[in-house]
Amino acid sequence: MSDAGRKDFSDKLKEGVTPDSTKSTQQKVKETFTDTGDKIARGVQPDDQKSAGQEFTDKVGRSKDREVHGSAGGSILDKTKDALGLGDKH
């Protein structure tokens, strides 16, 4: 079950277990689009306003993103400021 406007966990699971080599270009583009929308929604809605299942799925997703992309946490705004050399100078 997913919150309104979010990608359902069962859809994520099916997409994850289906090899990319068996997916059409249209399926890959759709997954990329819906994954991006889901990640945006994941960041906008506070965890305390999500269902328990959605909160858990989002926490796992954030953890995976940090592991894959080497993120140390922080907001997008903070990361942008750091990248531009405008971050905290302490």
Q: What is the pLDDT of residues 9-31, one digit of tens each?
A: 888 888 889 999 999 999 999 99
Question: Model-level pTM?
Answer: 0.60
DSSP tag of 14: H
Using N-to-C axis directions, what is the helix angle for 52-69 and 9-17, rounded to 10°? 40
Does residue 53 lie in a domain region? yes
Q: What is the pLDDT of residues 30-68, one digit of tens each?
A: 998 888 888 888 888 888 888 888 888 888 888 877 777
Does residue 24 lie in a domain region? yes
The total number of structural domains in the chain stands at 1
User: What pLDDT is recorded for position 87?
Assistant: 66
**Structural domain range at position 18:** 9-83
More confident residue, 76 or 44: 44
7, 38 in Cβ contact below 8 A?
yes
User: What pLDDT is recorded for position 27?
Assistant: 93
